[in-house]
Amino acid sequence: MRHILSTHTPLYMKDKDKENGQSPKDVLGDAAGEYKYGFVTDIDTDIIPRGLSEDVIRLISKKKGEPDWLLDFRLRAYRKWLTMKMPRWAHLDIPEINYQAISYYAAPVKKEGPKSLDEVDPQLIDTFNKLGISLEEQKKLTGVAVDAVMDSVSVKTTHREKLAEMGIIFCSFSEAVKDYPDLVRRYLGKVVPYTDNFFAALNSAVFSDGSFVYIPKGIRCPMELSTYFRINASGTGQFERTLIVADDDSYVSYLEGCTAPMRDENQLHAAIVEIIVEDRAEVKYSTVQNWYAGDKDGRGGVYNFVTKRGLCRGYQSKLSWTQVETGSAITWKYPGCILAGDYSTGEFYSVAVTNNHQQADTGTKMIHLGRNTRSTIVSKGISAGRSQNSYRGQVKVAPNADNARNYTQCDSLLLSETCGAHTFPYIDVLNDTAVVEHEATTSKISEDQIFYCNQRGIPTEEAIGLIVNGYAKEVMNKLPMEFAVEAQRLLSITLEGSVG
């Protein structure tokens, strides 16, 4: 199995394509164009045999040169996982997964640790170029710090020195384990314990790599930190782990993007993201998820079973999740906020698009524990083809969470006769001073709107693109600029050809 983890950049159109004289339409037009990132990078990969057992976990740990406490953590998680059952409550049709048929560790074979970009495997650089990422360009031009990781192992991190000057730690998870063991040990598994759920336990047992971010007290991270995930090798799964700690009065904006090659088989992605936000700190976490969604008939595609959770521990802390979900055959994902600090704020903005045979069951959890906590949920679902798209969200107000306030709005748009759009909110209020509101609507695009566009010479497909973009704007506006452009483009690609 291989994973690539790197910083994220726009995915829609590369300079290289421009040079070739290809218009974006050409790239996207034919079969391959339906999923543009479906190439396989042919570089040596160190893959361990398929299957899962304590020995495999020991092997992973050994390969990564991990300390005993971490191996112990993995083993405890593995033993817990053995006692757990795969969750079946979501509105998803998940085929049986043979966990013994997956290889749990795949790393690109590295020469001695690269000292500069020049030393990185040229093919890897090429991969990123194909993705539209040029590390160097990124480094020089965009100011986005890049943690580029192929399959399971972090490949290169840019801008680290500059960040280090400010005391910001941004490195791969394995490096963090080596260099900052105390920090990792203090925070690992504190927000998502390995007992949390089936996939969290699996990830805790076998996680390969991921990113670690620490923003010290009073520091505003001057650039957007970004991670790029890619599953490259076949027969592998991706199990990365991200840990972000924002100390008092700090701020960071973190971006995450994902792609995978086109394969007939289904690949498993079970990640964990843990975020800790201290007093008056703010974390903004944005995701553009574009894993391979399978072909038109639902063959192949990534199973995206992810546990993301932030703990707003501090007074006036703030965590904001923004996600644009366009890929994956099956998505099972509920980024949540535990609002433990008084006056803490949680936000969740989501656009989930499903087409063909995709299935998504996604939403959020807002757990109000502190006083005067606030949360906002805006979820926009768009279903097309034969897909099933569900919003599932929980808002819970604990007995001591006085004056908690929640506003939830989730809208669904139906673009075909055969798709489904579902809404499953769970609202539990145990405090009488709370104000919780939930609103949901489901409808198709109004024919009046399309007619209006047609009348003005805009073809139906384009009109739908316009309307959908307008519909999703509320969420798109929350994305960092370069992401927003890409996300809009992705939206159109995903829905391409869905209009009959």
Binding residues vs another protein (CB under 8 A): 89, 91, 397, 399, 412, 414-444
Give DSSP secondary structure letters for 242-294. Answer: EEEEE-TT-EEEEEEEEE----SSEEEE--EEEEEE-TT-EEEEEEEE-----
For the bound state, the minimum distance from the C-beta of residue 413 to another protein, rounded and expressed in Å, comes to 9
Paired tokens of 473:
């704007």
For the bound state, the minimum distance from the C-beta of residue 89 to another protein, rounded and expressed in Å, comes to 7
Where residue 199 falls (left for φ over 0; alpha for ψ -120 to 50; beta otherwise) is: alpha
Cα–Cα dist 80/198, whole Å: 9
Beta strands 405-414 and 336-339, pairing class: unpaired
- The SS3 call for residue 419 is coil
For the bound state, the minimum distance from the C-beta of residue 436 to another protein, rounded and expressed in Å, comes to 4
For the bound state, the minimum distance from the C-beta of residue 90 to another protein, rounded and expressed in Å, comes to 11
Closest CB to another protein among 84 and 427? 427
Closest CB to another protein among 129 and 431? 431
Closest CB to another protein among 70 and 330? 330
For the beta carbon of residue 51, count every other beta carbon within 10 angstroms. Answer: 14
Residue recorded with tokens 């809009």: 488
**Residues 400, 369: contact at Cβ < 8 Å?**
yes
Give DSSP secondary structure letters for 200-232. Answer: HHHHHHH---EEEEEE-TT-B-SS-EEEEEEE-
Beta strands 420-429 and 241-246, pairing class: unpaired
DSSP H or E stretch at residue 73: helix 68-82
Residues 6 or more apart whose CB falls under 8 angstroms from that of 139 comprise 117, 146, 158, 159
Closest CB to another protein among 164 and 435? 435
Closest CB to another protein among 191 and 440? 440
For the beta carbon of residue 19, count every other beta carbon within 10 angstroms. Answer: 8
Closest CB to another protein among 192 and 434? 434
For the bound state, the minimum distance from the C-beta of residue 221 to another protein, rounded and expressed in Å, comes to 37
For the bound state, the minimum distance from the C-beta of residue 403 to another protein, rounded and expressed in Å, comes to 11
Closest CB to another protein among 102 and 429? 429
DSSP H or E stretch at residue 182: helix 181-187
Cα–Cα dist 360/210, whole Å: 24
For the bound state, the minimum distance from the C-beta of residue 439 to another protein, rounded and expressed in Å, comes to 5
For the bound state, the minimum distance from the C-beta of residue 298 to another protein, rounded and expressed in Å, comes to 17
Closest CB to another protein among 169 and 353? 353
**Residues 157, 169: contact at Cβ < 8 Å?**
no
Closest CB to another protein among 125 and 445? 445
For the bound state, the minimum distance from the C-beta of residue 129 to another protein, rounded and expressed in Å, comes to 41
Paired tokens of 142:
């965009």
